[in-house]
Chains A and B, each alone.
Chain A
Amino acid sequence: MTSSPLERRYRRLLRIYPARHRAAYEEEMIGVLMDGSAPGRRIPAPAEVADLLRAGLAARVGGSWRGVRGSGWRDASAVAGLIIAVMLAAVAGRRLFVGIHVIHVDPGGSADALGLRALLLLDVSLRFVLWGAVCAAALLGLRRAAAWLTLPAALVELGTVIWWLPGTPMQSAIRLSWSVVTVGVAIAALMAARRGRPLPVLLGHRGLGVVLVAAGGAVAAEVLADYLLLSYGWAVRIFELALFVLVAAIVLSAAPGVRGRAAVLLVPAFTGPITWELAQGAHLLTVVDSGRDLIAPFFVVLATPALAFGVALVVLWAWSVSRTEGAAKEQGHE
């Protein structure tokens, strides 16, 4: 049968739907659309076009979300959001701790009569308090409070970036920019977790206890490193190790099905900062601003995290497809 121009246009419009939906309903929908169109009509009515586009896009988003919904992603968001908040609170807390220590050891005399150095700790203090409050709310199971508290914390983070960005070298500017991405993931994760299960349920009393003990251990390690007057490098390594133990405690306290998803959600949050640290450790960033070739360092610092994120998404997609197919096969055998 030769199709009319109107039918061809409807078929083109229906391409907005996912393949699964088209396979199930395309012929039927074409019948309904053609039955409902006025005789002699050559182009679809605008209202019909708008309805098909809206429903088609919803089917695409809903279709991809259907496999995700109710499968632990909200739980994973809660765990990932807590981890990011813990990391940001810990980083701000350590800077505050070091800053207070420096002022205590060397008050600065008349050079700091106006308390300028203390003023410079204002944003660090605010970040520590706000991210700490996010962690506390999340651990108490106050999901909405945790989600909304991320907003003032993010504002302070953003203000810090805007304040420091113009005067910092290129290397630090890149690091500051990535912190915006990390904070964005924290907001998205905790907002998504608002409708999920609260963390005390997810981690259990035992898990909460382990996390709190690990957090106490991290603080104790930091204080001990300072008390023993270890060199800056050693103190940083101990801080990183303590933080790693704390994050591992949170991840391992979650259910097995949640752990993998939480790790995937953390990829965009930490790929940038970690790559930056590695690149700096390997002295790859020293050529930035030196007038030499900029392509290599920019590739390392900017493109690598993006590529890693892309690879993580592909792995996630392949994993979810294999699971869906596996589930479909199981259903088929029943």
Chain B
Amino acid sequence: MTDVPMREPTFLVLTALAEEPRHGYAVIEDVAAMTGGRVRLRAGTLYAALDRLRVEGLIEVDREEIVQSRLRRYYRLTAPGERALAAETGRLRDQATIAERRLSARRIELGGATA
């Protein structure tokens, strides 16, 4: 795993699979629910991410089912995938903390200036 920040679809797919194994359409639905409908992954984007994550060993196939004559393949997070998601979550948290601290300081400064 490199230190390059994850792209948002990758992060969201891993987050969707962190809860439980999911098939492709369930990942799309979960990502849409997590982001309040802001992100709705399309099939091309989703399978590009799934293929890359499989190659990198961050996810793997959990099981396959046939539902209404259609293949459903469930994916699950692997241990390296869990570590990668934890690392990315920590990185985002650190950045958010810095941003929050600076915004608070700015509010205090502005409040002081207007007082």
Contacts and interface: CB of A to CB of B under 8 A. Distances in A.
A51 B51 CA distance: 16
Interface stretch (A32-40, A152-160, A250-258): A32-40
B43 A52 contact: yes
Contacts of B23: 28
B25 A55 contact: no
Contacts of A295: none
Interface of A: 1, 21, 24-25, 27-36, 47-48, 51-56, 58-59
Given A24-B51, A25-B47, A31 B42 contact: no
A36 B26 CA distance: 10
B51 A59 contact: yes
20 contacts: A24-B51, A27-B70, A28-B23, A28-B24, A28-B47, A28-B71, A29-B43, A32-B28, A32-B46, A32-B47, A33-B43, A36-B28, A48-B44, A51-B42, A51-B43, A52-B42, A53-B44, A54-B44, A55-B47, A59-B48
Contacts of A29: 24, 43, 47
Contacts of B70: 27, 30-31, 34
A35 B46 CA distance: 14
Interface string B16-32: 00000001110010000
A49 to B, nearest CB: 9
B27 to A, nearest CB: 9
B interface majority secondary structure: helix
A32 B71 CA distance: 9
B45 interface: yes
Interface residues of B, number: 19
A35 B25 contact: yes
A53 to B, nearest CB: 8
Contacts of B114: none
Contact of B72 (A31, A56, A59): A31
Contact of A58 (B24, B28, B48): B48
Nearest to A66: B55
A28 B72 contact: yes
Max count, chain A CB within 10 A of own CB: residue among B23, B42, B45, B71? B42
Nearest to B40: A36
B104 to A, nearest CB: 40
Nearest to B67: A31
Contacts of A30: 70
A28 B46 CA distance: 11
B73 A28 contact: yes
Nearest to B52: A62
B69 interface: yes
The 7 closest A-B pairs by CB, nearest first: A55-B44, A31-B70, A51-B44, A51-B42, A27-B71, A32-B24, A52-B44
Pick from A25, A29, A31 the residue with the most CB of B within 10 Å. A31
A231 to B, nearest CB: 60
B15 to A, nearest CB: 18
Contacts of A48: 42-44
Given A27-B71, A34-B70, A47 B42 contact: yes
Contact of A36 (B43, B48, B50): B43
Nearest to B49: A55
A52 to B, nearest CB: 4
